[in-house]
Amino acid sequence: MNLKAHAYGSIAFIERNFALIKRYLGWELVFLTYNVVNALAIGLIGARMGKEMVLYLIVGAMVWGFLSILFHEISESIAWERWEGTIEYTFMAPINRVTHLLGNCLHAVTYGVIRSSLILIIVVFFFGISIKGANLTALFIILVVSGLSFVGLGLMAAVLPLLSTEKGAYATHIFEAVLLLISGVYYEIEVLPIWIRPLSYISPATYTLRAMRAALLDGAGLGELLPTILLLLGVGMVLIPLGMIVFGKAEFYAKKKGKLKRSG
């Protein structure tokens, strides 16, 4: 199967997901408002400590928002189909599972980048902070590249709703909560108890946050950030295929046990 066929097939999922967003636009506004207010509230915690602290916290809110969106979009794309019962139709269609999942991931990343950028713009405007010294290109590149590793994790999380609609959602939330704790979203990981820290080092979010703060606060150049970018890229290259394999195994198991059916 060539790249062009993948790309063409992926459109199905992107188009469908945006049709669903359009249909439930009210909820979009609610979530966006919630995300913005949340980022503002967190930024305000640092207001007395100066601009640096505000930006530091806002990067946390932004990356956290991005990661949550990717996770939810990917596992939701499976959970929703199970709920509606369309999953059987999607699964029996002559489309490669890789194309199917890539389509959903591509949608999630596009959507996540748009939402996160919107939040950054609104928040910077609200605080009246100048980000002239920031390296926005680097910020954007890191966001997209980190998306690859988050997508890989998201694919593994999507296995859970495939096997059980309800319990799947529990597990996805717990997994996310652990990432929030270990990755230094609003603090340096050095404040964590020593026994948790090894987990911090294996979370791709830790490196994303560090690099984004360097780009936004210190205007770090692409050259300087290259090692992190390559690292995130590498992790994504490992996690995405791994996620696909795990998903494939889960699909086989579901077909063996009759788990794809919504009722019964």
Partner 1 sequence: MKEPIKCVGLKKTFVKKDKVVALNNVSFTIEKNEVFGIVGPNGSGKSTLIRILSTLLIPDEGSASVFGHDVVREYSKVRPLINRVSVDAAFFKGISAWENLRYAARLYGLGGKEAKQRTLDILSQLGFSEKRFYEPLEDLSRGMQQKVAIARAFFTSPMLLLLDEPTTGLDPRSKMEVQNFIRKSMSSNGLTILLTTHDMNEAEVLCHRVAIIIKGRFVTVGKPNELLEKYKKPNLEQVFLEVTGKDWKEIEYES
The residue ranges that bind ligand ATP (CB under 6 A) are 258, 261, 264
201 binding partner 1? (CB under 8 A): no
Least Å distance, CB 95 to partner 1, is 5
Q: Computed over its alpha carbons, how large is the radius of gyration of the chain?
A: 19
Closest to partner 1 by CB, 92 or 194: 92
Give least dist CB 77 to ligand ATP, A. Answer: 22
- Which listed option, ligand ATP, partner 1, none, makes contact with residue 131 (CB within 5 to 8 Å by class)? none
Query: Looking at 50, 84, 167, 218, which residue binds partner 1 (CB under 8 A)?
Result: 84
With contact defined as beta carbons under 8 Å apart, do 66 and 112 qualify? yes
Q: Which of 20, 114, 174, 237 binds partner 1 (CB under 8 A)?
A: 20
- Under the binding rule (CB under 8 A), the answer on residue 249 touching partner 1 is no
Give min distance, CB of 14 to partner 1, in A: 10
- Of positions 92, 191, 194, 202, contacts partner 1 by CB under 8 A: 92
Smaller CB separation from ligand ATP, 90 or 117: 90
Residue 26 in contact with partner 1, rule: CB under 8 A: no
- Give yes or no for a contact between 35 and 119, defined as CB atoms under 8 angstroms apart: yes
Q: Does 234 bind partner 1 (CB under 8 A)?
A: no
Residue (198 or 264) nearer to ligand ATP, CB: 264
Closest to partner 1 by CB, 75 or 228: 75
Query: Is 8 a binder of partner 1 (CB under 8 A)?
Result: yes
What residue ranges bind partner 1 (CB under 8 A)? 8-9, 11-12, 15-16, 19-20, 23-24, 80, 84-86, 88-96, 252, 255-258, 260-262
